[in-house]
Amino acid sequence: MTHEGADTATVSEVGEARLLEAFLPGATTDGPHVEVGPGDDCAVVTTPGGRVVMTTDTLTLDQDFRTVWPSGVRTSGTDLGHKCAAQNLADVAAMGAVPTAVVVSLTLPGDTPVAWVTEFAAGLSRAFENLGARECALVGGDLGRGEELSITATVLGRCEQSPVLRSGARTGGVLVHAGVLGCAAAGLDALQSPVPGSWDALPADERRELHTAQLRPQPPVTAGRELARAGATAMLDVSDGLLKDAGRIARASGVRIDVDPGALEPDVTRLRRAGEAAGVDPWQWVLTGGEDHGLLAVLPVDSRLPPGVRAIGSCAPADPAGGRHRDGPTPDPRPGTDAPSPAVTIAGQAPAEWLGRDVVEGWDHFEP
């Protein structure tokens, strides 16, 4: 599949979804051992002993993290080891699988202290233990020299049952969430705020908690297996924002997801004082902020919620002309408007209508 201007456009001009449209058709994505290819949180391959899920992610200096933030906070090797583990473990959990092994590639400038490498390894290993991935171990990787610090990890996991994909949501299903929403986004804003600044109005201990939410997120890794056992038909890791990631489930499944704002009030209340200090509506963080790495899933209406899991919405029929879409906008316009019908609504309304203002649904790596 191609799009107009594909030969001359740059990645920052097309965004992540259209970049995938350009990349995937030219790649070999099937084979005798591939059960699930690109499109979910993990790929799934078959082996003589069963199914294996796998995922990979990269952290790059000044794109995904900073060593020193405008707030003066420094990111340690331990922080990055934890974050590297957290974001990859969450992807495996989102398939309903159990993390088992990780390989890590470090690209290091020549002046990187050896102590930083030791801290990184310790942070990675502690995260396995602290996040409930006790079967997971570092089994290899690569060390190389480069101009900028970059970390790439690939995590494998075992499936105890069929993997939970994004495409299994059905009309009448219950949208559920495990973890927190908005805290990492608020922490990012706090880290990026110069000192002194507006964030000084927030008590120091609350600022530190938000910093930690961004630097060392706490995905509910064990909840992934519990949600799969409870009958989850669709699931993913909320890495790019609730609205954006819910839209991914909706489009992959051919449904519309309706979010219950009342179910999110505790998240908004938790961030109210931070929002007042920063001059930000906390709904912005809760609805569009990523990197908390909670789990968003759809359960049958009669399923029992596992501990730590809450219902936050429901699945409704998609507009008849909507069909199924990978990540792009649903093309059918709403009656009487030129706007596309939303894949995700809040209390039955398009997010911008419910909020009373335009809203960017979440993070895109390639948007300016």
pTM: 0.83
Is there a binding annotation on residue 267?
no
pLDDT in tens, 155-200: 999 998 899 999 999 999 999 999 999 999 999 999 999 877 789 8
Tell me the two tokens of residue 169.
């949501």
* DSSP assignment letter at 199: G
Is there a binding annotation on residue 166?
yes
- Return the SS3 of 137: strand
Is there a binding annotation on residue 363?
yes
Cβ neighbours for 332, distance < 8 A, ≥ 6 positions apart: 319, 320, 321, 322, 340, 341
Is there a binding annotation on residue 281?
no
Is there a binding annotation on residue 341?
no
**Residue 235: exposure state from Cβ atoms within 10 A (0-12, 13-18, ≥19):** buried
Instruction: Give the separation between CA 341 and CA 331, rounded to whole angstroms.
Output: 7
Sheet of strand 150-158: strand arrangement: 34-36, 43-47, 50-60, 150-158, 98-108, 137-145
- Residue 33 identity: H
**pLDDT for residue 31:** 62
Whether residue 166 contacts residue 249, with contact meaning beta carbons closer than 8 Å, is answered with yes
* DSSP assignment letter at 320: T
Is there a binding annotation on residue 239?
yes
Give the pLDDT band (50/70/90) at residue 367. low
**Angle (deg, nearest 10), helices 204-215 and 77-94:** 60
Instruction: Give the separation between CA 189 and CA 274, rounded to whole angstroms.
Output: 10
Is there a binding annotation on residue 91?
yes
**pLDDT for residue 312:** 98
Is there a binding annotation on residue 57?
yes
Please give the mean pLDDT across all residues of the chain: 86
Is there a binding annotation on residue 205?
no
For residue 296, what are the β-bridge partners?
A: 177, 236
Tell me the two tokens of residue 52.
């294996």
Write the Ramachandran bin of 139: left for phi over 0, alpha for psi from -120 to 50, otherwise beta: alpha
pLDDT in tens, 245-280: 999 999 999 999 999 999 999 999 999 999 999 999
pLDDT in tens, 282-331: 999 999 999 999 999 999 999 999 999 999 999 999 976 444 433 443 44
Q: Which has the minimum average pLDDT: 10-14, 81-85, 116-120?
A: 10-14
CB atoms within 10 A of CB 197: 14
pLDDT in tens, 9-41: 665 676 656 655 655 565 445 666 567 777 776
Is there a binding annotation on residue 358?
no
